[in-house]
Structure 1
Amino acid sequence: MTSTTAPVAAPTATEAISTTRQRLALASVLMATFMGLLDGSIVTVATPSIQADLRASFGEIQFVIAGYTVAYAVGLVTGGRVGDLIGRKRSFVIGVLTFIGMSVLCAIAPTAGMLIAARVLQGLAAAVMLPQVLSIIQVTFTGPARAGAIGIYGATIGLASISGQLVGGALLAANPAGLGWRSLFLINVPIGVAAIVSARATVTESRGGSTRLDLAGASLLGLGLVGLLLPLAIGPAAGWPVWTWAALAAGVLVLAGFAVIQRRLQNTGGAPLVPPRLLAQARFARGLFLVLVFYSGNAGLFLLLAYHLQAGLHFSALGSGAVFAPLGLGFAVASLAGKKLAARYGARVMVAGATLMSLSLAAFVAVVAVAPQQVQALALLPALVVSGIGEGLVAAPLITTVLADVAPADSGAASGVLLTGTQVANALGVAVIGGIFAGVLGSTPDEANTTVAFADYVHATAITGGIVLALAVLTGLVARALRTRH
């Protein structure tokens, strides 16, 4: 019998080269993604060493951490628009090159003041570098290939967020060349150089529809985000002094004024930094709310787990990172698998992931409440693996959902808004969950504080774990609404 199926032509040499080039381009931008997001958390484990070596005050150490995260979040939307204006590839390379330079400056900093300044500049470099990643993926891939690339991007975000404790603890324990905490910054040099070399050869240049940069809007957005994020980053450790509440109120007012001006620019044919039409798209707006709920819960869980392991169970930074590793592994595996599941089942995959998160967090709270101290970390591992799988199933289709209706001309701004949303969510999760934890504990979580009994840590972790569980349930409800409406 003769087959009626037409023969499939073998891929030409040109097509093979194109596919290889796309994969190398993806690897280039993902290396920078991992590097930039890792630097937001890796320094946390080294703060005691930095404080002792540079004779820094507690406030200065807080600014070493907050300086990077706030500068990064403040510059993201503007960085995305810069890529639309002068070219995503060019902006990416400039951002990575500047990030490398600031990493070296951090590593050689002789004083806390110089380290803080270098960290702020490093955060601004990340704000130029990282918004280009999603834009480059959007214009490099189409159809199922784009969904797959975004799935891998989601896995990279999760791994970078979770790996800070493990990578930082491992580098401090290994102490390469006797560099101590300085090695945490120098590790960026080979990664960044490899990303630049590969990107220059494989990434295709692209631009958006912007013809000029809204400098007034960028200034207002920056001031508003500083007013919002700096108090959230510094307030919990500083005891929420009056200035933090004043800054929060001012930040909200400035952001409200920014929104009014952006709408006026759009209505008069101008070029707003954040086009209000983005938030008018139902899928983008609801997806952005889901980003806020999901990532604030994740940030709260990571902080809660770090407190319980290091201050409650007296684990080292490396030991704590090892307990985080199964969660990261589950996240990565589920993110990679989630891209295929999402292509078939759509937003239902996010609902299933949030359900797994909720079940695993309920098990987490139960283990903390009843398991003996000696075996508690081991008993937590199954729940953490399942939680990582659930998070990966949410993260893989989430970014695709948020960006599904975004026009190519607005991809830079949309990427900046999306990444800013994750940073705001992280800050909210850390500030709110950390504040509630300390309030229930009745003391600042501190491994050196022997006046707080383990039973007190159990109580505080169980109570705040219940709040993280509620956020996971809310994640599922919002994802279900997206599934129903789309």
Structure 2
Amino acid sequence: MAVLTTLPTTPARVGAKQWIALASVLLATFMGLLDASIVTVAAPSIQRSLGASFGEAQAVMAGYTLAYAVGLVTGGRLGDLYGRRRIFLTGVLLFMIMSAACAAAPTAPVLILARVAQGLAAAVMLPQVLAIIQSSFTGPERSSALGLYGATIGLASIAGQIVGGALLAWNPLGLGWRGVFLVNLPIGLAAIVVARCTVGESRGPRARLDLAGAAVLALALTGLLLPAELGWPLWGWPVLLAGAGLLAGFGFLERGRTNALVPMRLLARRAMVRGLGTVLAFYAGNAGFFLLLAYHLQAGLGESALGSGLIFAPLGVGFAVSSLLGKRLGALVTGTVLMVVSLAAVVLVVIAVPSSSQVVWLLPVLALSGVGEGLVAAPLVGRILAGVDPADGGAASGVLLTATQVANASGVALIGGLFAAVLGGTPGAPGSDFGRYVHATGVTGVVVLVLAALTGALARTLGRGRRG
């Protein structure tokens, strides 16, 4: 049995074993992020096969992302309390089991329940990855490890649409959409086998899990995220306000608790607060940009889902490559400049270039955008987590990933809503001519550009107050 030790502040010299361990946890990261997007491509097939309504098809996608966001902080804290390696392996195993359950689902309601459970498993699994990186690496090696983490995010961001489209087109063994869930089984098995042999155990001081805090935070995040995930139904605003009230109540509940789910010392650090603000601007802009560009490509230019994914591929590749290079704070600011330039170029291409030539012009511009985003992502994670108390590594990772999910949901809701309003109709519905998509994409693209500039302004503040 592995010996549980407090997460060290200065790990021993990094050797081959730590790098192999990193590969195993990044493999699980790829699997979890892939599953968030791959189902989007399969949604029409799922709807037809199971005779599901459009609302049920939405719930298949929203159930995963919502459960994942709601459980991240608790999942991270579980690793702090009971061992990050142990909780990581448990999360991967649960993820595999629920992937098989999704593939075997006979009806839409069963699939929705399995997707919710799968999202909770991801929330147990993924916060441990950053905590394990923090415990296993230091100095330049940690920067390199975080760069590989960023590269994994970049590859996963493009792989969902490409792998999903390829699986549906290939249809191995006649599995249809069920194959997009079964692909997780060999990936998860490889991650477990390698991690069991290479990942060392670490945790913070023993304490009881703050069950009251976990329950209140789960309800608060559900209230904040559910309306956006379900397309803002009439009851969305009261639920949103209730979620905000519960979040304030959670902060009051956690003050002074020795076993707080989110130790207030984390949020007392200026670097953490500034970093989370940067995360919100960065990921809200990215999520909104991906949404409006996907609609422009598919509904405006008439590209298929797979074709749209291939057009996004240069962005993901640029993200992955530059994540390996963006190891310094200066790269973070440089990345935001590249984002602003590339987004301005996207708006210019959409407005000024004929529809027949837009894809050709967009490919290099999207590659530049990906380079900028990759230069931001990895240094931003490193800066936020730098100086965090080793005992709080999992909780800090959970808070960071939760902020990312809140930003994604907010970006899709706000920028998507603005896009629909400027378009003057439902995006993707018949009857909207190309000129209206040009106008809507151009206007909302400027908003995304402003968020990129805001990310740069906030990133500059991360160079101050390094002591937290």
TM-score above 0.5, yes or no: yes
TM-superposed deviation, 1:472: 0.4
Equivalent of 2:335, from 353, 357, 371?
353
Tell me what 1:180 maps to.
176
TM-superposed deviation, 1:485: 4.4
TM-superposed deviation, 1:141: 1.2
Q: Is the 1:287–1:398 contact (alpha carbons within 8 Å) kept by the matching residues of 2?
A: yes
Tell me what 1:324 maps to.
312
TM-superposed deviation, 1:273: 0.2
The 1-side partners of 2:364 and 2:463 are apart by 29
How many residues align structurally? Answer: 455
Tell me what 2:90 maps to.
94
Equivalent of 1:257, from 245, 249, 253?
249
Tell me what 1:376 maps to.
358
Tell me what 2:112 maps to.
116
The 2-side partners of 1:209 and 1:423 are apart by 28
TM-superposed deviation, 1:166: 1.9
Tell me what 1:241 maps to.
233
Tell me what 1:303 maps to.
291
Tell me what 1:137 maps to.
133
TM-superposed deviation, 1:208: 1.3
Equivalent of 1:335, from 323, 327, 341?
323
Question: Secondary structure, in 3 states, of the residue corresponding to 2:168?
Answer: helix
Q: Is the 2:227–2:233 contact (alpha carbons within 8 Å) kept by the matching residues of 1?
A: no
TM-superposed deviation, 1:247: 0.7
For residues 155-192 of structure 1, the C-alpha deviation after alignment (integer angstroms, 9 at most, x for no partner) is: 21232233322222222222222211111111100000
The 2-side partners of 1:142 and 1:264 are apart by 31
Question: Secondary structure, in 3 states, of the residue corresponding to 1:450?
Answer: coil
Equivalent of 1:465, from 445, 450, 459?
445
Pair 1:434 & 2:416 matched: yes
The 1-side partners of 2:416 and 2:365 are apart by 21
Equivalent of 1:279, from 244, 267, 271?
267
Equivalent of 1:443, from 425, 428, 435?
425
Q: Is the 1:210–1:409 contact (alpha carbons within 8 Å) kept by the matching residues of 2?
A: no
Q: Is the 1:84–1:208 contact (alpha carbons within 8 Å) kept by the matching residues of 2?
A: yes
Q: In structure 2, list runs of 5 or more residues that go unmatched.
A: 1-11
Name the aligned partner's letter for residue 247 of structure 1. V
Equivalent of 1:209, from 195, 201, 205?
205
TM-superposed deviation, 1:311: 1.1
Name the aligned partner's letter for residue 92 of structure 2. V
Q: Is the 1:338–1:397 contact (alpha carbons within 8 Å) kept by the matching residues of 2?
A: yes
Name the aligned partner's letter for residue 134 of structure 1. L
The 2-side partners of 1:19 and 1:76 are apart by 30
The 1-side partners of 2:176 and 2:357 are apart by 32
TM-superposed deviation, 1:450: 3.3
Name the aligned partner's letter for residue 440 of structure 2. A
TM-superposed deviation, 1:144: 1.3
The 2-side partners of 1:179 and 1:301 are apart by 33
The 2-side partners of 1:425 and 1:209 are apart by 31
The 2-side partners of 1:87 and 1:100 are apart by 20
For residues 139-163 of structure 1, the C-alpha deviation after alignment (integer angstroms, 9 at most, x for no partner) is: 1112211111111112212322333
Equivalent of 1:164, from 160, 163, 180?
160
Higher alpha-carbon deviation: 415-424 or 167-176: 167-176
Tell me what 1:5 maps to.
none
Equivalent of 1:45, from 36, 41, 44?
41
TM-superposed deviation, 1:277: 0.8
Higher alpha-carbon deviation: 282-291 or 475-484: 475-484
Tell me what 2:9 maps to.
none
The 1-side partners of 2:182 and 2:420 are apart by 34
TM-superposed deviation, 1:210: 4.3
Q: Is the 1:155–1:395 contact (alpha carbons within 8 Å) kept by the matching residues of 2?
A: no
TM-superposed deviation, 1:86: 1.2
TM-superposed deviation, 1:40: 1.0
The 2-side partners of 1:177 and 1:320 are apart by 26
Please give the TM-score of this superposition, normalised by the length of structure 2: 0.95
Higher alpha-carbon deviation: 187-196 or 347-356: 347-356
Tell me what 1:190 maps to.
186
Higher alpha-carbon deviation: 145-154 or 361-370: 145-154
Pair 1:453 & 2:425 matched: no
TM-superposed deviation, 1:484: 4.4
TM-superposed deviation, 1:405: 1.6
The 1-side partners of 2:389 and 2:24 are apart by 24
Question: Secondary structure, in 3 states, of the residue corresponding to 1:40?
Answer: helix
Equivalent of 2:346, from 364, 378, 386?
364
Tell me what 1:386 maps to.
368
Q: Is the 1:71–1:124 contact (alpha carbons within 8 Å) kept by the matching residues of 2?
A: yes
Higher alpha-carbon deviation: 162-171 or 300-309: 162-171
The 2-side partners of 1:103 and 1:119 are apart by 8
Question: Secondary structure, in 3 states, of the residue corresponding to 1:264?
Answer: coil
Q: Is the 2:82–2:206 contact (alpha carbons within 8 Å) kept by the matching residues of 1?
A: no
For residues 282-319 of structure 1, the C-alpha deviation after alignment (integer angstroms, 9 at most, x for no partner) is: 11110111111111111111111111111111111111
TM-superposed deviation, 1:264: 3.3
Name the aligned partner's letter for residue 297 of structure 1. G
Question: Secondary structure, in 3 states, of the residue corresponding to 1:338?
Answer: coil
TM-superposed deviation, 1:47: 1.1
Q: In structure 1, list runs of 5 or more residues that go unmatched.
A: 1-14
Pair 1:230 & 2:212 matched: no
Q: Is the 1:323–1:377 contact (alpha carbons within 8 Å) kept by the matching residues of 2?
A: yes
Question: Secondary structure, in 3 states, of the residue corresponding to 1:241?
Answer: coil
The 2-side partners of 1:355 and 1:421 are apart by 23
RMSD of equivalent CA atoms: 1.3
Q: Is the 1:209–1:410 contact (alpha carbons within 8 Å) kept by the matching residues of 2?
A: no
For residues 214-249 of structure 1, the C-alpha deviation after alignment (integer angstroms, 9 at most, x for no partner) is: 0000000000000011111112xxxx3331111100
TM-superposed deviation, 1:127: 0.5
For residues 11-48 of structure 1, the C-alpha deviation after alignment (integer angstroms, 9 at most, x for no partner) is: xxxx99x6111111000000000110111111111111
TM-superposed deviation, 1:373: 0.8
